[in-house]
Amino acid sequence: ATFTISGTAPADIPTDAVLQVGFSNPDESPIGGGFITFCGSGDPCPVKSGETFNRKVTLFAPQLPDKYLVTAVMGDQQGIYGCAEAGVGVPPPLEVPSLERIF
């Protein structure tokens, strides 16, 4: 699966930051996921606070059902720099599952 990750860095994003993507069922049971080094794509790093970034990353996606949630979290041991969630085939309102259940 290919993801476009873009935004304005809320803080310095170090070179060892990772992007984790988790897939789960609408009942929050995990399906699978993976991670990739955010700075591993050859784009400028580190990203300084206030700078904009736009990256395309490709991760393995497991076979997915017709309805599922996808959650992306960018961070390192110091904290979380950004996150997003989307539902596929899931009607609103989308309830945000616990990150521990997805990863």
Q: What is the pLDDT of residues 19-65, one digit of tens each?
A: 999 999 988 899 999 998 888 767 788 999 999 998 888 888 899 99
Contact indicator for 41, 57 with CB cutoff of 8 Å: yes
- Given CATH 1.20.1740.10, say whether it is the number of domain 2-102: no
Rounded to two decimals, what is the model's pTM? 0.79
Every domain of the chain and the residues it spans = 2-102
Short-list 96, 70, 72, CA closest to 84: 72
Tell me whether residue 56 is exposed, middle or buried, using C-beta atoms within 10 angstroms of its C-beta: 0 to 12, 13 to 18, 19 or more: exposed
User: At residue 11, does pLDDT exceed 60?
Assistant: yes
